[in-house]
Structure 1
Amino acid sequence: MKNLKTHNRFTSELPADPDETNEIRQVSKAVFSYVNPTKPSNPKLIHASEEVAELVGISKDEIHTEEFLNVFSGKEILSQTRPYAMCYAGHQFGNWAGQLGDGRAINLTEVEHNNQYFTLQLKGAGKTPYSRTADGLAVLRSSIREYLCAEAMHYLGVPTTRSLSLILSGDEVLRDILYNGNPAYEKGAIVCRVAPSFIRFGSFEMLTARNELKNLKQFVEYNIKHYFPEIKGEPKEQYLQFFKTVADTTREMILHWQRVGFVHGVMNTDNMSIHGITIDYGPYGWLENYDPNWTPNTTDSQNRRYRFGNQPQVAQWNLFQLANSLYPLINEAEPLEKILESFITDFNSDYTKMILSKLGLLTPSENDAEFIAYLESNLQLSETDMTIFYRNLNKIRKGDSAEKALQAIEDAFYKPEEIKDTIKNNWSLWFADYMQRLNHENTSDNERIELQNSVNPKYVLRNYMAQLAIDAADKEDYSLISELYELLKNPYDEQPEYEKWFAKRPDWARSKVGCSMLSCSS
């Protein structure tokens, strides 16, 4: 990989753990520990993204070399680099968890290409000092989900980490998929993830919790220098601007999640990026039927803290924890509180505009909040597929009756026989309002449909689709991974050759493990 320009800014400018043994321990006065990946016994490349390779400076031809396979499986280390795992803490499900850290992620190096910096990280590459009771490995099942989802999110226009490669380790990994005391061996795999960095809210929480304020100041200033160079001014003003920038990009990310119906499932503070990008694809899912109370995470099934409808509030809560971490550098609560208070206000305003764009409405109205609330209430009267509902609005034309408009989206109903009496009447009333507003828009049908098709995806990575690819891959058939990868690169296009994927969740997937809810076991 002759054009790969590596850098070691993180490890050369920030405090390292002096203990270089790979033993589970509490690490203090450091933001990372040096650690080498566990060497896989027989790595095999399943899939790689040519687009991401090009992004970081790797040619298409180099993807299929032994060097690529060895480096991105952890078998070999790039010259002049030292892999490391980051130390951070976090709040998990609202509770302080103390030190967490990269328990099964190992950062290989930073690379520079076309004046952009990226961190290359292996997930599932073995034990680190932060692995706690785990082995630091990952199974093929979760690795396929991570690999495909990051790329699907990118092409949906959602800020995210990227996926470079998916590699089988050749080793077996013991996992208890349902946490019910029945562990079994599964195929091990490694994903190479790519991001500007993998720095989390929890990185700052760790330093403040341990009262390492000198390191906290150094760490914040490192982040501003390398990732937010546009921030200028006095130190205190810089720290506030840093927090505001993180809050703004986080808000934008969550808005995109709500737009496409994505549920992260584990919005712990250690899973929140300072870059406002989606990281750590564990028990995620897309809404099938529109249900604000749905969470894909079995661990969260009782309290539903991370349910779809609560994601904006959780993001604000997580930002509050980040604000607490930065407070010792600022020593003023009011400016931080002001940023936090505006988060939900700004989100609600942006959310209204976003939903109107999904409806093809450019003209705001004083009744927008009521109009949207009525729609979201109707979507829950009978199971209604969110993706299909919004996409099929493009079948409606100005001048259509409310009844004809309702027929246009009828494929979105899981139980069409329920659309009668009160439910049908509620829908008819909403569509009557909708058609009236549509008829008063200055845009033509074609202009409106172009707008709607740019924000309402036709194809998303539904859990059953990922599970089908996993089931095939377990039998060494990787063709479905390739097919879904190609499909998800153009989620807003019609792609008639892939029409079979524009469909409601099949009945068999309603309660199947991996298709309805998932555990964190990976």
Structure 2
Amino acid sequence: MHKLTIHDRFTKELPADPSTENSRRQVTEACFSYVKPRKTSDPKLLHVSTEMLKSLGLDNTDAQSDDFLKIFTGNALLPNTSPYAMCYGGHQFGNWAGQLGDGRAINLAEVAHKGKTWTLQLKGAGETPYSRTADGLAVLRSSVREYLCSEAMYHLGVPTTRALSLALSGDQVLRDVMYDGNAAYEKGAIVCRVAASFLRFGSYEILAARQDHKTLQILVDYTIKHHFPHIGAPSKTTYLQFFKEVVDRSLTMVLHWQRVGFVHGVMNTDNMSILGLTIDYGPYGWLEGYDHGWTPNTTDRQYRRYRYGTQPDLVLWNLYKLANALYPLIQDVEPLEAILNEYDQDLKEGYLNMMKSKIGLSEINAEDAQLITELEAVLQRSETDMTIFFRKLSNLRKENAEEGLSTIFEAFYQPDEIKDEIKTTWEQWFLSYHERLQKENMNDQKRKEVMDSVNPKYVLRNYMAQLAIDQADKGNYAMIDELYQLLKKPYDEQPENEKWFVKRPEWARNKVGCSMLSCSS
């Protein structure tokens, strides 16, 4: 891997844990601990992202080398590098959890290429001082999901961490998939994740909670210097501007989630990127039926804190926690509250504009908010596939209001329910929608192009990922590549892949991995 340009900044500019012992412990006055990946018994590379390779200055020849396999499965180190695990805390399901940290992630190095710097991180590469009672390893099913979803989200236009490679470790890993006492051995796997930074809200929270304001300032100044350099030298004004940018980026990210129907499933503050990237793909899922109350996470089943409809509100809750962490450097509540208050108004405007784009409206109209509210209500009257509904809606012709139901009828999971009051409500909505379309300057073809550019035809439905996992468990990895290639062009028609533009099959409705997921990986 001599072609990689190592440009380590994190370990050179931030305070390190003085102990190099790889034992579980509380790590104070430090942002990270040095730790080496665990060597694996029989590594095998399953897939590599060609786009990410190129972004790092590598090519397919490099990916086929023995060095690549060893480095990205933790069996060799890049020259002149010192791998490390990051220290952070977090609020989990609304409660302060104290120190968490990279329990199964090890950062290999930072790499510079064409003016950008990327952090390379192995997930599932072994224990760290932050592993608590866990083994630091990951299994194939969760690794397939993370690898495919990272790249799928990127091509959907959603801010996200990326994935470089997916590999088997050759080791067996014991996991209790549903936390119900039925543990079993599964194939171990390792994903190389890539991002400009893996800093989280919890990276700052842990320092504030410990009243380690010295290290907090060092970390905030470092973050601004390398990731927000345009806002200037450190000062109270700069810190407020930094917070404002994190707020804006986080809002942009969650609006993209709502647009494509993505549900993160575990929006704890340790899973919130300071760069506004989607991070930590665990028990995520895509909406099948449009349902504001749906969450894919079994741990969240009782209270549904992280359900689809509350994601924008939970981002704000998490931002409040970040504001509290930054307060010691600012010492002024009012400007922080003013920024947080702006979030609410920006959310209302951003959400309205996002939903308008999904139904092909660009002109300003006072009644649009009501039209969208009525749509969201009727969409939930009977199970209606979100992806198919919005994609099919673009086929509606401006002059034919009576075609509304027939245009999107394929999206209904229970078509026989579309009768009586539900049918009447749909017909009334389409009549209002038709009247609203008359006020648009776009013709049918232009409107379809605009709508199809924001409403994906193909998303990584849970059952699709599970099919690839089931095949991979049997030693067949072809479907991983099939889905990877499909999801590189999610907005294209791809008529040869029409089999993936369908509602969730009935067999997947209550199948583990398709409708129910846990944090087990």
- Give the match for residue 238 of structure 1: 238
State the Cα distance separating 1:398 from its structure 2 match.
1.2
8 A Cα contact 2:53 2:164, kept in partner: yes
After superposition, the C-alpha distances for 1:115-142 in whole angstroms (9 at most, x for unaligned) are 1000000000000000000000000000
Partner letter of residue 496 of structure 2? Answer: E
Q: Distance in 2 between matches of 1:450 and 1:395?
A: 10
8 A Cα contact 1:159 1:253, kept in partner: yes
8 A Cα contact 2:221 2:234, kept in partner: no
After superposition, the C-alpha distances for 1:355-379 in whole angstroms (9 at most, x for unaligned) are 1111011112112221111000000
8 A Cα contact 1:111 1:118, kept in partner: yes
After superposition, the C-alpha distances for 1:4-30 in whole angstroms (9 at most, x for unaligned) are 001221001100000101000000110
Q: Distance in 1 between matches of 2:163 and 2:214?
A: 35
State the Cα distance separating 1:154 from its structure 2 match.
0.3
SS at match of 2:313: helix
Q: Distance in 1 between matches of 2:332 and 2:478?
A: 56
- Give the match for residue 501 of structure 1: 500
After superposition, the C-alpha distances for 1:295-350 in whole angstroms (9 at most, x for unaligned) are 00000000000000000010000000000000000000000001111112101101
SS at match of 1:476: coil
Q: Distance in 1 between matches of 2:344 and 2:125?
A: 38
Instruction: Note if 1:336 corresponds to 2:336.
Output: yes
- Give the match for residue 412 of structure 2: 413
- Give the match for residue 126 of structure 1: 126
State the Cα distance separating 1:234 from its structure 2 match.
5.8
Partner letter of residue 512 of structure 2? Answer: V
Give the 5 Å matches for 1:17-416: 17-232=17-232, 235-401=235-401, 403-416=402-415
Partner letter of residue 206 of structure 1? Answer: I
8 A Cα contact 2:359 2:394, kept in partner: no
Partner letter of residue 185 of structure 2? Answer: Y
State the Cα distance separating 1:439 from its structure 2 match.
2.1
8 A Cα contact 1:152 1:461, kept in partner: yes
After superposition, the C-alpha distances for 1:178-223 in whole angstroms (9 at most, x for unaligned) are 1011100000000000000100000000101111101111110000
8 A Cα contact 1:43 1:73, kept in partner: yes
Q: Distance in 1 between matches of 2:341 and 2:300?
A: 27
State the Cα distance separating 1:440 from its structure 2 match.
2.2
Q: Distance in 2 between matches of 1:223 and 1:187?
A: 37
Partner letter of residue 440 of structure 2? Answer: E
Partner letter of residue 40 of structure 1? Answer: T
Partner letter of residue 54 of structure 1? Answer: K
- Give the match for residue 454 of structure 1: 453
After superposition, the C-alpha distances for 1:480-508 in whole angstroms (9 at most, x for unaligned) are 00000000000000000100000000000
8 A Cα contact 1:74 1:122, kept in partner: yes
Partner letter of residue 436 of structure 2? Answer: R
State the Cα distance separating 1:406 from its structure 2 match.
1.3
Q: Distance in 1 between matches of 2:209 and 2:461?
A: 39
State the Cα distance separating 1:233 from its structure 2 match.
5.4
- Identity level (%): 64
State the Cα distance separating 1:164 from its structure 2 match.
0.2
- Give the match for residue 434 of structure 1: 433
SS at match of 1:180: coil
Q: Distance in 1 between matches of 2:219 and 2:2?
A: 32
8 A Cα contact 1:312 1:344, kept in partner: no
Partner letter of residue 107 of structure 2? Answer: N
- Give the match for residue 10 of structure 1: 10
Q: Distance in 2 between matches of 1:168 and 1:380?
A: 41
Q: Which piece of structure 1 moves more, 433-442 or 25-34?
A: 433-442
After superposition, the C-alpha distances for 1:13-55 in whole angstroms (9 at most, x for unaligned) are 1000001010000001101000000001110000001110110
Instruction: Quickly say closer, same or farther: Cα 1:126–1:233, change in 2 above 3 A.
Output: closer
SS at match of 1:360: coil
- Give the match for residue 475 of structure 1: 474
Structure 2 portions without partners, runs of 5+: none
Q: Distance in 1 between matches of 2:102 and 2:233?
A: 33
After superposition, the C-alpha distances for 1:209-262 in whole angstroms (9 at most, x for unaligned) are 111101111110000001111012561011101100000000000000000000
Q: Which piece of structure 1 moves more, 193-202 or 359-368?
A: 359-368
8 A Cα contact 1:153 1:159, kept in partner: yes
Q: Distance in 2 between matches of 1:502 and 1:307?
A: 24
Normalised to the residue count of structure 1, the TM-score between the two structures is 0.99
- Give the match for residue 491 of structure 2: 492
